[in-house]
Chains A and B, each alone.
Chain A
Amino acid sequence: MEYEAKHLFRQYGISTPKGLSFKDMEGISSALTNLDFPLMVKAQTTVGGRGKAGGIRTALYKQEALEAAERILSMRIGGMKVHGVLLEEMVEASREIYLAITIDQRTRCPLLLAGNAGGMDVENMPAHTIRRWSLDPLEALPPEVLEQASRFLLRGETGTQEVRSTIQAMWRLFRGMDCELVEINPLMITDSGKAIAADAKVAIDDEALFRHPKFMERAGRDLTELERLAKERGFTLVEMAGDIGVLANGAGLTMAALDTLQRYGGRGGTFLDLGGTDDPDRISEALGLLSYDLAKGRTRSILVCIFGGITRCDTVADALMHTITDRNVKARTVVRLRGTNEEEAVRMLQLANFNVQIDLDEACLQAIKVRA
């Protein structure tokens, strides 16, 4: 969120407006004496689009700031509750620019983006106002890139030194904190040539959180109850809008199952990627999560779609027979197995009265049909 990103910015030497953040209304009133009006009152969320949703307001006096804060704290933006509110002194700028460092999949290298028309939605910035430089991940920032970027952004106006040191600080932050993205939109250049980050976005790589334990807990804060339960058990589970729960192994096969359901007019709901396990207890645990969802009524049928490579089909069949014993749950479960020991697994499941399929398309049709 912005206030956390700005905390990192300050640690790495990027200036931000003077401000204070709050989780609720407590303490805002007394803290306002420490800030000079006009103020920006900004919703703190983990999703984008808060400006359009009314999550950013200005306040000229105390009562206005309190009202804006109260209103914002009660909002939901992009389906997520607002986590807090940031009150900040407004910055007068002679120029607003855009800066970002991200990772370019094609070159497999960091990419510096600079835009001389900051403040607007980046996707709407005209192409000629943005320039990009591919950076070597093994080297320091080349002086000529800093030179070219500051010249492009400021066209000789004051602030060159400040813009350069801001880019350098972004680079240190990008590398030091395993960032997938460091973005400032806009960076305000004041009359006296100061550079101040009015907004801040930092995305830290989830897979690198073991190196940044302080940030570990933040990763899971927008999860639903079921997603949190799954995460605690080491599964990838995502809740989508549909009503067919999907258990598959591997991201690609999971997606293929969801695609096939859609093709026949069904909609995937909660889906769980089993990954590459051959441990029957893990499979039972995963099935347990989906049955729990079925009991709650959000999921109306379950599609189990497994390719048995390391995970043998008979192991999956065994786990299914032990976990799904309730007749109603079984009636709403469709199992589709391919791969190692497929014939054995199909025979076992048929004997136990499971709806078992070999063909993915047929299994998806069945999963749509057996919804209760």
Chain B
Amino acid sequence: MKGSALLKDRTYLVQGITGKQGSYHTRQMLDYGTRIVGGVTPGKGGQTVHGIPVFNDVQRAMARTGATASVAFVPAANLKDAVQEGLEAGLEAMVLITERTPIHDTMGFLAMARRRGTAILGPNCPGLCIVGESKVGIMPNHIFKKGGLAIISRSGTLTYEVVQALSSAGLGQDVVLGLGGDRLLGTDMREAVEIVLERGPSGVVMIGEIGGQMEEEASLLIKEFGAENIFAYVAGVSAPPARRMGHAGAIVSRGSGGAYEKIKALEGSGVAVGRSLGDLVTLISKRIERP
């Protein structure tokens, strides 16, 4: 399956490595043990950042370092070009941290990525962590504890909250996937559930939020698989109905998208849904055995 390209043990390039964010998080990723082997910033080829060589373009960086995946910290207006460049150079997986990308740009490069079979995580995501091995993106290094759980989330800080609370409770994680907060995502919740189930986790924790139908679709998959030990939290039960999207949005997603609909769909598939963050951790503690 193409999605699992995201969890392959491999070396990474950092697109936008010379920027403030790119440089800071390259340091953090190196400290975690992630194998960052090159950076890309047009016009800055030949420099180094934390000892990592910088190249002018992805193609050259791939040829010189052998990397087949990247993590991007480029400004929103440049993300489309950066992804297109990565796809054309033949990257197998890309993790897009950049936020505030125009939705038409995302729609375009995701379609290109599907044609080429490249796995994308994000945009507007905190990245991923294979606990104890490799962290790609901006999640804080110290929150993880090695274990068997898989965490899938649409929110950054909520992921950190949950992961830290689980770690403190002695419930370790195998993988943490931050899917991103945008409406269009390279890897959605349903696909992420498929990816992590392949690894045989002790449990799967989904952190969702209002809007769209990702949680509903993921729950259909879970029902089909009959998977056990699936937990969820959905943020936004107190949110007022969205005043933004017009009628067409309502037809596309008739009768779904609200937090209650999502919770209902998840519980209908046998998922244990925590009504608060504390509640979620308690539920998991009761069902998952500590090593």
Contacts and interface: CB of A to CB of B under 8 A. Distances in A.
The answer to whether A and B come from one shared complex is yes
Interface of A: 47-48, 78, 100-106, 108-111, 113, 121-123, 125, 130, 136-138, 175, 178, 180-181, 183, 185, 201, 203, 205, 207-208, 210-211, 240, 248-253, 255-256, 258-263, 268, 276, 307-310, 338-340, 359-361
Interface string B85-107: 00000000000000011111111
Nearest to B253: A105
B145 to A, nearest CB: 15
Contacts of B237: 259, 262
B51 interface: no
A338 B235 CA distance: 18
B239 interface: yes
Shortest Cβ-Cβ A-B pairs, 6 listed = A252-B155, A250-B157, A252-B158, A208-B102, A255-B235, A102-B248
Contact of A180 (B164, B188, B245, B277): B245
Please classify the interface of chain A as helix (H, G, I), strand (E, B), loop, or mixed, using the class held by over half of its residues.
mixed
B163 to A, nearest CB: 10
Interface of B: 76-77, 100-108, 110-112, 115, 138-140, 142-143, 153-161, 164, 181, 183-185, 188, 207, 209-210, 212-214, 217, 233, 235-240, 243-254, 259, 275-278
A359 B276 CA distance: 11
Contacts of B244: 203
Nearest to B24: A310
Nearest to B211: A105
Contact of A108 (B102, B107, B213): B107
Nearest to B217: A106
Contacts of B112: 138
Contacts of B254: 123
Nearest to A111: B252
Given A102-B248, A255-B209, A256-B277, A268 B238 contact: yes
Contact of A207 (B101, B111, B160, B236): B101
A262 B238 contact: yes
B278 A108 contact: no
23 contacts: A105-B212, A106-B188, A108-B110, A113-B252, A121-B247, A137-B107, A178-B103, A201-B247, A207-B100, A251-B155, A251-B181, A251-B209, A252-B156, A252-B158, A253-B157, A255-B210, A258-B238, A261-B238, A262-B237, A309-B156, A309-B157, A310-B140, A340-B140
A125 B245 CA distance: 18
Given A105-B183, A251-B181, A260-B276, A309 B139 contact: yes
A122 B251 contact: yes
A275 to B, nearest CB: 9
A103 B155 contact: no
A208 B103 contact: yes
B101 A122 contact: no
B252 A104 contact: yes
B277 A207 contact: no
A163 B230 CA distance: 49
A203 B251 contact: no
Given A252-B207, A276-B156, A309-B157, 11 more contacts: A113-B252, A122-B247, A122-B251, A183-B248, A205-B102, A207-B100, A208-B102, A250-B157, A255-B235, A256-B276, A308-B140
Contacts of A111: 248, 252
Contacts, number: 175
B263 to A, nearest CB: 11
Contacts of A339: 140, 143, 160, 164
A178 B246 contact: no
Contacts of B236: 255, 259
Nearest to B238: A262
A360 to B, nearest CB: 6
Nearest to B102: A208
B183 to A, nearest CB: 6
Contact of A310 (B138, B153, B158, B185): B138
Contacts of B111: 108-109, 136-138
Given A108-B111, A339-B140, A259 B104 contact: no
B184 A105 contact: yes
Contacts of B217: 106
Contacts of A180: 103, 245
A109 B276 contact: no
Given A250-B157, A252-B158, A262-B237, A309 B102 contact: no
A113 B235 contact: no
Contacts of B250: 122-123
A101 B247 CA distance: 11
B110 A207 contact: no
Query: Which of A211, A263, A310 counts the most B-chain CB atoms under 10 A from its CB?
Result: A310
Nearest to B243: A47
A78 B213 CA distance: 27
Given A108-B111, A178-B102, A259-B237, A252 B154 contact: yes
Given A180-B103, A310-B140, A250 B158 contact: yes
B121 to A, nearest CB: 14
Contacts of A201: 246-247
B107 A252 contact: no
A48 B250 CA distance: 13
B164 A338 contact: yes
A360 B158 CA distance: 12
Given A108-B110, A258-B239, A263 B275 contact: yes
B248 A122 contact: yes
Contact of B248 (A78, A181, A259, A308): A181
A164 B257 CA distance: 32
Contact of A205 (B103, B138, B185, B239): B103
Nearest to A182: B248
Nearest to A268: B238
A273 B231 CA distance: 26
A268 B161 CA distance: 20
A101 B249 CA distance: 10
Contacts of A210: 77
Contacts of A102: 248-249, 252
